[in-house]
A and B are shown apart, each in its own frame.
Chain A
Amino acid sequence: MSQPIQHAQADEAVLIPAAQEGDMAAFEELVARHRDKAYARAFSILRNEDDALDVTQEAWVKIWQRLKQFHGNSSFATWVTRIVINLCLDQLRKQKRLQAESIEQLDEDAGGVERLMPAVILNPTERLERSELRRRIDEALAKLSVEHRTALVLHEFEELEYKEVAKRMGCSIGTVMSRLFYARRKLAALLAGLKREEFT
């Protein structure tokens, strides 16, 4: 006779099959373990607390409905995050905040003043506490355009290849490359504390 699951102590290898069989307490435990990561990813793309909460809740509902499709090819965390990202991109498209490729976007993709900026030496870890550095990175990310930030988040934090980023954002690999390039340059400038006047 099988023992009842102690959800709080149980390994994911136990919780996931239990949830797949309809054990909602097991699913609740999985949500509790991954909710911060899912929310953080949604917020990093949407930059809006309410939108990020709505999207992650929608994601958990979809995850429950599709649990049987999870076969462990990636980690559960990766699978969850990918679903969150797809919903975030859908949300941006609905809000018309995400441009696939358009004439209006050309200037933004071309990087504005960042194209003229000389290379900066970026070594902030020597001067800043880690929490302070993270706060500054968060602030800098908020200053990027949706397209630049999304490309950066997908590539740097989710470690997706160019073609995967392009597929998800609905644009060409070349566009991803230029968005990523100017996002990095702008971020470097912001983190180095450079003001626009210094390089224009």
Chain B
Amino acid sequence: MKDLPTALKLQAHLDGELAPDEAREVVSLLQRDAEAHALFDELKGTRRVLAANEPEIKLPESREFYWSKIRRELERLEREPQVRPQRVWGIARWLRLALPACAVLVFAVVMLHRPAFAPGPGSPLFAVGDEIETPLEELNSFTFRSESARMTVVWVSDSFVN
């Protein structure tokens, strides 16, 4: 057999994949090299036989049975898109309810853990470095920051109202 690059060139010539210059070289090779010519003829013969005799393969199922399976799948998929948006909407709706619920829960936890009395300066809870900030007294709230306990509490009270 010819070396592989030459053989592949012969094949590419047969398949019409060579540039004109290369095609001319191959034609010249075919004229002077019997082995190349024999290989080219074999490739050409195989190609011709295949082109004219593709195996006839029939679907092994009846038209009705084959179509029924396709139709069932199409019907299933047609129903599916109506479910999908609902699922997406379901998640959105759940989030819409869950997020405020979480906020309320966090607020409740903070409130449950607040001191039972309103701490003030002089209270034993206070230590050096603690800060009390009441930026807006009319809102009845102040912030308590304890550096020693490393915590901040926002305390809301109606004591000013009473």
Given contacts A31-B70, A115-B1, contact A188 B57 (CB under 8 A): no
A180, B66: Cβ atoms closer than 8 Å: no
Give A157 to B51 CA distance when docked, in angstroms. Answer: 7
Which one of B15, B50, B77 lies within 8 Å of A61 (CB-CB)? B77
B49, A44: Cβ atoms closer than 8 Å: no
Chain A interface size range: 35 or more
A57, B69: Cβ atoms closer than 8 Å: yes
Give A130 to B73 CA distance when docked, in angstroms. Answer: 39
Give A156 to B49 CA distance when docked, in angstroms. Answer: 10
A123, B1: Cβ atoms closer than 8 Å: no
Consensus secondary structure, chain A interface:
helix
Which residues on the A side are within 8 Å of B41 (C-beta)? 119, 121
B1, A184: Cβ atoms closer than 8 Å: no
Q: What string of 1s and 0s marks CB contacts (under 8 Å) between A111-133 and chain B?
A: 00001111111111100001001
**Is B53 positioned at the interface, with any CB of A under 8 Å from its CB?**
yes
Nearest neighbor of A155 in chain B, beta-carbon distance: B15
**Is A80 positioned at the interface, with any CB of B under 8 Å from its CB?**
no
A122, B74: Cβ atoms closer than 8 Å: no
Give A32 to B77 CA distance when docked, in angstroms. Answer: 21
**Is A99 positioned at the interface, with any CB of B under 8 Å from its CB?**
no
B53, A161: Cβ atoms closer than 8 Å: no
Give A116 to B2 CA distance when docked, in angstroms. Answer: 9
Which residues on the B side are within 8 Å of A152 (C-beta)? 50
Give A122 to B48 CA distance when docked, in angstroms. Answer: 10
Given contacts A28-B71, A39-B59, contact A134 B54 (CB under 8 A): yes
B11, A161: Cβ atoms closer than 8 Å: no
Nearest neighbor of A38 in chain B, beta-carbon distance: B59
Which residues on the A side are within 8 Å of B39 (C-beta)? 119
**Is A171 positioned at the interface, with any CB of B under 8 Å from its CB?**
no
16 extra interface residue pairs, beta carbon distance < 8 Å, beyond A181-B4, A184-B11? A31-B70, A53-B59, A57-B70, A60-B70, A119-B42, A122-B45, A122-B49, A124-B49, A133-B53, A137-B50, A156-B51, A161-B17, A180-B11, A181-B43, A187-B50, A188-B45
